[in-house]
Amino acid sequence: MQFRVILRILGILLMLFSLAMLPSMGVSLWYNDGSVFPFGVSFIVIFVVGILVWLPSFGSKQEMRTREGFLVTALFWVVLGTAGSLPLYLAATPNLSFTDAFFESFSGLTTTGATVISGLDDLPKSILFYRQQLQWMGGMGIVVLAVAILPMLGIGGMQLYRAEAPGPVKDNKLTPRIAETAKALWYIYLGFTVVCALAYWAAGMSLFDAIGHSFSTVAIGGFSTKDASIGYFDSPLIESIAIVFMILSAANFSLHFVAFRRKSLRGYFQDPEYQFFLLVIGGLMLLMSLGLWLTSTETGWRALRMGSFEAVSVMTTSGFAASGFSHWPLFLPFLLFLSSFIGGSAASTAGGMKSIRILLLWKQGIREIKRLIHPNGVFPVKVGRKEMPERVLAAVWGFFAVFMFTFTVLLTVLLATGLDFLTAWSVLGSAMNNLGPGLGEASANYANINDPAKWILCFAMLLGRLEIFTLIVIFSPMFWRR
Amino acid sequence: MQFRVILRILGILLMLFSLAMLPSMGVSLWYNDGSVFPFGVSFIVIFVVGILVWLPSFGSKQEMRTREGFLVTALFWVVLGTAGSLPLYLAATPNLSFTDAFFESFSGLTTTGATVISGLDDLPKSILFYRQQLQWMGGMGIVVLAVAILPMLGIGGMQLYRAEAPGPVKDNKLTPRIAETAKALWYIYLGFTVVCALAYWAAGMSLFDAIGHSFSTVAIGGFSTKDASIGYFDSPLIESIAIVFMILSAANFSLHFVAFRRKSLRGYFQDPEYQFFLLVIGGLMLLMSLGLWLTSTETGWRALRMGSFEAVSVMTTSGFAASGFSHWPLFLPFLLFLSSFIGGSAASTAGGMKSIRILLLWKQGIREIKRLIHPNGVFPVKVGRKEMPERVLAAVWGFFAVFMFTFTVLLTVLLATGLDFLTAWSVLGSAMNNLGPGLGEASANYANINDPAKWILCFAMLLGRLEIFTLIVIFSPMFWRR
Ligand SMILES: [K+]
Ligand SMILES: [K+]
């Protein structure tokens, strides 16, 4: 292991990340909300730590290879999550313990959007802005991770778009390709954010709320500046804008890339994963609306409005609330939570297992039934016109089984901390799918969840964001032996 | 589809099944418990219906093929489950609705062992005997099904012992082979039952209880003649006997077959599935005992005694209670329930997904991690010394995914009937794994579960018993098209 190259990268990341304190300082000064101090201190501390971490590798010529890639990818979230918690810990309002500050920061950066804070509406503007911005930066990180980095490690949904067998790419010099791809993605991401913010603003949000919510919408993060989330604005127009941008952000970013290059929307309609995603989300919107209507939970158009919004919000793993769903008959939120296990497209800011994997699992399930009826038949699994290699299919099964296994182990541990079954199941699903909201004791927020459980949930968020295998590989003895 | 052959077989089965009323009539007369009538009427009705079903195919020369095999296998349980509910419905004590009578009969025959009856201790002896006998017959049916029939359909865990690709066997004439195998299995099954009954009797049970409990132990059924189950006897010796016979009954019956033929126990120690099963159950016994001790739920040796018994009882999917576990800290019963998803060996009377499948899933999960670290390595999945064909591995993944998918759909439906999350999850897991006990509202028995939920649970028991695919194949259009 070449630790110097790892330290160099982390040092640079920390120095860059320290700059994230500056906009919040600006907001604090502008609104005179008395929170300049925590951001100022954090800026200096994080920057200095960054230099100290970077210094030993000054002049080193080591290059990052796949092996270091695994570690850097995992450490990226842990290190920035810790750094990001600093101003939240230092701030006088809200008065957070270290656990809570870390949870909030980590939940933000991984775009999970679970919050331990109640009384958002009364927080200093700079803190609110900072939380939204954490999600936005996290979202950007995820796209770069998913499009450029995970495939090089042989992990992640984008893998499934490659015709070859999964596994790390051969090229050992990763840096130039990452930089080039990241730049293009950055422009798309920024473009979406600006348009979304303008739309929210035009629809009646204040400029502050518009920018804040566009950050967390495009990042599929789900943080809000209001306790009541999107429901605060009680506006069908704002909800519609949110729906559009959540569905857009849940698309594979390489589709956006192609669309902007070719000035054509055709790519979206030719992508089997996105088609599948849209089909399921359409069905879920209907099902939810019907469910609300038939159980008389909501009446008339409101059933359609709330059902559709929550369906999109949860299946994309955004986690915004229009009316909330904890008071609905349990099978409806349960169904919603199930959809978050599917999630958006690979290489989007969405969480979950990713639509492409579920599509492949579904097709393979059907194939097994066909094979039972016609044991001598040959049934290739196709996505679009492309036949998927058995090697890739095995990787999808593997992902599913390991996901379920990990989920089950963590659920047992959460129950052992004393959570009840519904709460534990929902917050764990929410964390691993990077969704945000919980049920049971976590219906309103995560303030009542015990501290050990919060740390386990942070770990689950990381697992979800790294599509599990990155972390598992690092924990396997084989990784360190070679 | 050759319906005549199906009717002929079902007719014969019904006529044979009607004979099952006679022992209970004998018990009723012996104890003079006033329940001769329901069994007498049932005997006549079931026998006559059997003749009427059988008659149209008299003289028909049609042979059963794989295709009819699927239907007969599924109908076997449904038809006998219905027939078996008749005396329970007719009996004055307990006074059961049709739903409850069907649930009790179906739960018995599938060796699930979930009961809707409270106050077992005061029931007529004949009814008690009948319930135990239902499980015993069901257990015998399962062994024949798993060893002889499911493999011919290309379904079930035994499949994984074959070196070839899964799929129905070529031979279209199934009957002679089934009969021959069934006879050998019958002797083994009967032998275990007799020895187990004698052991219980010698350990202090009445002869009636000894026979009754040996029926439900060897069948891994879990019905008892007491509300307090095995706990009623409060005897470490009886619990030990139960543990031994549960663990024996959870072994693949072809291992017993080989052991009796060769007069050697070596086969048990050379079977990778049974080794894996024993390893997991050993770990679980330790974990449970430790858990009970550390949480001060039980003290001293009692922690070891109760932890071990419930671990064996639940992982083998027997479902007997020594102390019960609904008052334990939730993570302990949850862990127990998880082990029931593993279950015993293929071709045993145990339920669950079967140890061999979980072993293969585990090995494949490990392989995916190895493949990520060494993308060019070749890592065959071996069981013992035998390399498993990829085709078989795909079938295991498929089973797991379809199991989980079915579980999730049924869980949603159960929640929609109004059950709470813990109750719904536990009773569904209990039904699909043919385990028996539930948590939450079903902690004591299933009397408080609503009727629609009971029917769904019956369906889940059937799914579990038929290792899912038998039913799914029947429901697929392709099956009927060819
Ligand atoms: K989220
Ligand atoms: K059972």
Q: Print the SS3 string covering A194-251.
A: HHHHHHHHHCCCCHHHHHHHHHHHHCCCCCCCCCCHHHHHCCHHHHHHHHHHHHHHCC
Q: Number of Cβ pairs closer than 8 Å across A and B?
A: 151
Contact: A397, B395; criterion CB under 8 Å: no
Please check the confidence at residue A168 and state whether its pLDDT lies above 50: no
Name residues 38-67 of chain A within 8 A of B (Cβ): none
pLDDT band at A182 (very low <50, low <70, confident <90, very high): confident
The pLDDT score that the predictor gives to residue A177 is 62
Confidence of residue B156 (pLDDT cuts 50, 70, 90): low
User: What's the pLDDT score for residue B178?
Assistant: 63
Query: CA nearest B338 in A: which residue?
Result: A408
CB B159, CB B395: distance < 8 Å = yes
Give tens-digit pLDDT for A290-309.
999 999 999 889 999 999 99
B154 touches chain A (CB under 8 A): yes
Binning pLDDT at 50, 70 and 90, where does residue A172 land? very low
Mutate to test the interface with A, among B162, B366, B372 (most CBs of A within 10 A): B372
Mean pLDDT value across chain A? 88
Which value does ipTM take for this structure? Answer: 0.89
- A113 C-alpha vs ligand 1 centroid, how far in Å? 5
pLDDT at B159: 59
Segment A265-277 mean pLDDT: 89
User: pLDDT band at residue B158, thresholds of 50, 70 and 90?
Assistant: low
Over range B457-462, report the average pLDDT. 95
Over residues B45-67, mean pLDDT:
82
Instruction: State what percent of residues in chain B have pLDDT above 90.
Output: 57
The SS3 call for residue A387 is strand
Cis amide linkage into residue B94, ω under 30° from 0 = yes
pLDDT above 60: residue A228: yes
Stretch A137-147: mean pLDDT: 83
Question: What is the rounded average pLDDT for all residues in chain B?
Answer: 88
Asked whether the beta carbons of residue B372 and residue A401 sit closer than 8 angstroms, the reply is: no
- B395–A479 CB contact, under 8 Å: no
User: What pLDDT, on the 0 to 100 scale, is given for residue A161?
Assistant: 57
Q: Is A118 exposed, middle or buried (0-12, 13-18, 19+ CB in 10 A)?
A: middle
Mean pLDDT value of segment A64-76: 81
Interchain proximity A421–B393, CB inside 8 Å:
no
Is pLDDT of A318 > 80?
yes
Q: Which of A167-181, B43-57, B201-215, B318-332 is predicted least confidently?
A: A167-181
Mean pLDDT value across residues A250-261? 85
Q: Which of A2-6, B77-81, B173-177, B369-373 has the lowest mean pLDDT?
A: B173-177
**Which chain A residue has its CA at the smallest distance from B295's CA?**
A416
Of A331, A364, A373, the CB nearest to B416: A331
- Residue B177 confidence (pLDDT): 61
Q: How do residues A433-448 score in pLDDT, each as one tens digit?
A: 999 999 999 998 999 9
The pLDDT-based confidence of A355 (bands split at 50, 70, 90) is: very high
Answer with the residue of higher pLDDT: A89 or A467.
Answer: A89
A71-80, A179-188, B339-348, B458-467 — which is least confidently predicted? A179-188
pLDDT over 90 percentage in chain A: 58
A303: closest CA of chain B, how far (Å): 17
The mean per-residue pLDDT over the stretch B348-354 comes to: 91
pLDDT attached to residue B166: 43
A85 with A106: CB under 8 angstroms?
Answer: yes
Return contacts of A226-234, CB within 8 angstroms, 24+ apart. Answer: A226/A120, A226/A121, A227/A118, A227/A119, A227/A120, A227/A121, A227/A444, A228/A321, A229/A320, A229/A321, A229/A322, A229/A324, A230/A309, A230/A313, A230/A320, A230/A321, A230/A322, A231/A321, A231/A322, A231/A323, A231/A324, A232/A121, A233/A204, A233/A205
Whether residue A186 is predicted with pLDDT greater than 60 in this model: the reply is yes
Kindly list the domain boundaries of chain A, sorted by start residue. 170-450
Is residue B228 within 8 angstroms of chain A, CB to CB? Answer: no
B353 vs chain A: nearest CA distance in angstroms? Answer: 14
pLDDT band with cut points at 50, 70 and 90 for residue A160: low
> Is pLDDT of B176 > 70?
no
Give mean pLDDT, residues A284-288.
96
B1 touching A, CB under 8 A?
no
**Residue A382, strand partner residues:** A387
Lowest pLDDT segment from A389-403, A432-446, B191-205: A389-403
pLDDT for res B58: 75
Chain B positions touching A422 (Cβ under 8 A) are 420-422
Q: From the CA of B101, how far away is ligand 2's center (Å)? A: 18
Question: Is residue B323 within a helix (H) or strand (E), and if so which, with residue range?
Answer: none
* Nearest ligand atom owner, CA of B221: 2
